[in-house]
Structure 1
Amino acid sequence: MALSEPLVRFSGIQKTYDGSTLVVRDLNLDIQSGEFLSLLGPSGSGKTTTLMMLAGFESPTAGDILLNGRQITGTPPHKRNFGMVFQNYALFPHMNVAQNVAYPLTVRDVPKAEQEQRVKKALDMVRLSGMGDRLPARLSGGQQQRVALARALVFNPQLVLMDEPLGALDKQLREHMQIELKELHHQLGVTFVYVTHDQGEALTMSDRVAVFNEGIIQQLADAQSLYETPSNRFVAGFVGDSTVLRGTLGQDASSIHLTGLGVSLRGLNINQSTSGAKVEACVRPERIALSLDAPSPSNCLTAQVVDIVYYGDHVRLLCKLGPEQPQAVVKLALIHPCAQHPPEPGSTVYLAFPPEYTRIYAV
């Protein structure tokens, strides 16, 4: 089914601050109306610059930004009708909660009676009913974040932009707010564009995730596709955990000859590398089958247990494959016999790597 005309289109966008180094390179990205899109990547990858260009706080060096098919590249921020939530909340300390939330309505000359109705609705929406008279200093971090969100939603924007809005919260509250944001998005149907460096956050909330690195979108996909089928070595390493195997591509172009081990494993040649090329295979820790007895199937390596780490809902075994290979990480559910009675450090174990989950990447 063909997608409808995008709400936002980045077309050939480039951005440089010094005239030579491109922070964003040839960005082409469509954002669909009503979706929750996360821009994910490490510091300096271009994700925040992309958000700031969409907000109007930065201007592209080249290219066009379209909103509903109309050019907005030169439109100032206050005329774009976008809600914005920052990491530091940016609340006015001398205004109470209701006044902070009402501020976007005040600058738009919305009548007082309508302001009161909209503020009440917005505070109800973020579960802050009855707190309109409080000053921001009397609120917790999570409550301040909700006020900032209510302020971004109160004027019915067609787009809400969020720049690491949960970054200042502790882990438990951050995870709770992720669920609330996702529920709010479903209720409102407003388009959310969310910047984060936290892969778990992006995977938890988003309809789609754009993974940035060095100013380029490395992959744009839904959370499951990003995790299960990363398109290159960077995405495989940045999104989720992986056991990494180093070597060269075999003569059949569908196996990796492992450095220092003298054996090969079959897998999927993702980037169409040629035989003899240096490659790395990535396998998700939960896909590796661990056994205490030598198994019959191929695609199996012998390893020594280095350490066992208990995570509450699962156990991870760190295993040594050889001096020229990184440690293998194996994730076992608590119902697995080897999780209930883990082998001692120094024990020999056997690791089977399913070929369909052994993804071989160019490096």
Structure 2
Amino acid sequence: MSSTEPLVRFSGVQKTYDGEQLVVRELNLDIQRGEFLSLLGPSGSGKTTTLMMLAGFESPTAGDILLDGKQITRTPPHKRNFGMVFQNYALFPHMTVAQNVAYPLTVRKVPKDEQEKRVQKALDMVRLTGMGERLPTRLSGGQQQRVALARALVFEPQLVLMDEPLGALDKQLREHMQLELKELHRQLGVTFVYVTHDQGEALTMSDRVAVFNEGVIQQLADAQSLYEAPSNRFVAGFVGDSTVLRGTLGGTADAPCIVLGQGQTLPGINVNNAVAGAMVEACVRPERIALHVQAPAALNTVAAQVAGIVYYGDHVRLLCSMGAGQAQATVKLPLTHACALTPPAMGSTVHLEFPTPFTRIYAL
């Protein structure tokens, strides 16, 4: 098998539970060897169903799933040899940590002395050395999470599937575990497929992210492309924060712009080839908007009124009223910005500059 061949290929896969509504529709997806791929989307978008079909717990209604070029669509889960980590950990409470980790090896009839070596290695890998004799109930949530991970890795699977595995942890521990998982993936080189509805988690950890909505992958890209260049309005709204401007498309094919209600124009990028005069929305990341207290010479600026000031610790956000028909604009200011230290007064007029390369205009 050529190394350029994907490890997993979904080809024309569909899934329906009731024979009418497609939960996953016409899924074509290649998962590359050794990559960390996240399936990201809101509840009911099809991401977990996709993972369950890959695991073998659900069968596709149509289409094929290939592993190393071989059909596995009807292969039962235990014969796929994939590691699985769930949100609830699914540890056996009456068994010690070492026995829990050894379970997949016992099922595979691995000799006892070999089991001990592999369990020790797996526990070292997830930094639980010396905890093999404890019961899971004596461990913290983060430690139980690690036991579940060690159990998924102990039999050296070629693929590890994770379904919201950090969802039950508190924010600080979750962020710490994200970095640990990413580092573990880097060391092992195993293929990880990770389901989450947390956009920050997906951006932090993944080589690539598949954004699902209504059973369809809306965009499949690396984290930076997904954040900086969303391919449609759904992705722009779901991944990261955006200031959204409503208007109609003006300008020319070479120099498009959004025309706001007051007749003001802001040049931008016409992402979905909206036609002139069509209703459109422009999305701009809050940190890309430049704030000016005095009106600058730049053409792509709009006057706004300060409607709120929110202190976030590492930055300050200004909420600005843009006038009738427009949602509030959010401007993200680093603490090094003069206006973050002494923000403009509530109700005062400021001037917001929208840089053309980051003003992405979407057809509605």
Q: Give the structure 2 partner of residue 229 of structure 1.
A: 229
2:33 paired with 1:16: no
TM-score, normalised to structure 1's length?
0.98
Q: Secondary structure at the match of 2:276?
A: coil
Aligned residue for 1:173, secondary structure, equals helix
SS of 1:305's equivalent? strand
Q: Partner of 2:326 in structure 1?
A: 325
Residue by residue, what CA displacement relative to the aligned partner does 1:157-200 show, whole Å, maximum 9, x if unpaired? 00000000000000000000000000000000000000000000
Equivalent residue letter for 2:153: L
Q: Distance in 1 between matches of 2:235 and 2:282?
A: 13
SS of alignment partner, residue 73 of structure 1:
coil
Asked if 1:362 corresponds to 2:337, the answer is: no
Q: Give, as a single letter, the amino acid of the residue that structure 1 aligns with 2:271.
A: I
Distance in 1, Cα, partners of 2:252 & 2:3: 39
1:346 maps to 2:347: yes
Q: Which residue identity does 1:21 align to in structure 2? A: Q
State which drifts further: 279-288 or 249-258. 249-258
- 1:13-34 per-residue CA deviation (whole Å, 9 max, x = no partner) reads 0000000000000000000000
Partner residue, 2:46 = 46
Q: Could you report, residue by residue, the CA deviation over 1:258-281 in whole angstroms, capped at 9, with x for unpaired residues? A: 13x221111100000101111100
Q: Equivalent residue of 1:332, what SS?
A: strand
**CA offsets, 1:71-103, max 9 Å, x none?**
000000000010000000000111110010000
Taking the aligned partners of 1:240 and 1:185, their CA distance within structure 2 comes to 24
1:255 aligned partner, one-letter code: C
5+ residue gaps, structure 2: none
How big is each residue's C-alpha offset from its partner over 1:238-257, in whole Å with a ceiling of 9 and x where there is no partner? Answer: 11110000011115251111
Query: What SS class does the counterpart of residue 280 from structure 1 fall into?
Result: strand
- Counterpart Cα distance in 2 of 1:212 and 1:258: 31
Other-structure match for 1:272: 273
Hey, what does 2:158 align to over in structure 1? 158
Aligned-partner residue type, residue 312 of structure 1: G
Counterpart of 1:98? 98
Structure 1 residue ranges (4+ consecutive) displaced by more than 2 angstroms after TM superposition:
none
Q: How far off is 1:210 after superposition?
A: 0.3
Residue in 2 that maps onto 1:181: 181
CA deviations 1:89-145 (Å, max 9, x no partner) are: 000111110010000000000011111110000000000011111111110000000
SS of the equivalent of 2:185 reads helix
Q: Provide the rounded CA distance (Å) in 2 between the counterparts of 1:226 and 1:180.
A: 23
SS in structure 1 of the partner of residue 50 of structure 2: helix
Counterpart residue number, 2:76: 76
SS at match of 1:51: helix
SS for the counterpart of 2:100 is: helix
What is the CA–CA distance in structure 1 between the aligned matches of 2:355 and 2:143, rounded to whole Å? 47
Q: Provide the identity percentage.
A: 80
Q: 1:345 & 1:153 partners in 2: Cα distance?
A: 55
- Distance in 2, Cα, partners of 1:342 & 1:352: 17
Shift of 1:323: 2.2
Aligned residue pairs total 361
Partner of 2:138: 138
Task: Measure, in 2, the Cα distance between the counterparts of 1:145 and 1:32.
Answer: 26
Question: SS at the partner of 2:120?
Answer: helix
TM-score by length of 2: 0.98
- Write the letter of the residue equivalent to 1:316: R
**Secondary structure in 2 matching 1:250:** strand
Listed one character per residue, the Cα deviations across residues 43-86 of structure 1 (whole Å, up to 9, x for unaligned) are: 00000000000000000000000000000000000000100000
Alignment of 1:100-249 (within 5 A): 100-249=100-249
| Residue 257 (structure 1) aligned to one of 250, 259, 266 | 259
Q: Distance in 1 between matches of 2:35 and 2:326?
A: 41
Cα distance in structure 2, aligned partners of 1:125 and 1:133 = 17
SS in 2 for 1:323: coil
SS at match of 1:85: strand
Q: Is the 8 A contact 1:265 1:299 kept in 2?
A: yes
Check whether the contact 1:251–1:276 (CA below 8 A) recurs between aligned residues. no
